[in-house]
Amino acid sequence: MSVLEGIPVELSVVLGSAQIPIHQVLKMSRGAVIPLDCDQDAPTLVYVDDELVARGRVIVEDERMSLEIIEILPKSA
């Protein structure tokens, strides 16, 4: 086992974003729909420890959802 395998990192997969007032959030219930600022063909963003590292696309097959990485971004300076 590599010494790196035990280091935890936070991975975030972002489909899109939305800005809505808190009073609308508080009124939401199960089944609420929040429109995002992108269309279904927009790339999904992959962050590791708050740094954008890749772009991908969501794949849905039956009941399973996965992410295909389509571009790995260069390390930021």
pLDDT tens, residue by residue, 25-47: 999 999 999 999 998 889 999 99
Residue 59: enclosing H or E segment and its boundaries?
strand 51-61
Exposed/middle/buried for residue 47 (C-beta within 10 Å: 0-12, 13-18, 19+): middle
pLDDT of 10 reads: 96
Indicate the class that CATH gives domain 9-72: mainly beta
pLDDT reading at 1 higher than 70 = no
User: Which is more confident, 13 or 77?
Assistant: 13
Kindly report the pTM of this predicted structure: 0.76
pLDDT confidence bin for 76, thresholds 50/70/90: confident
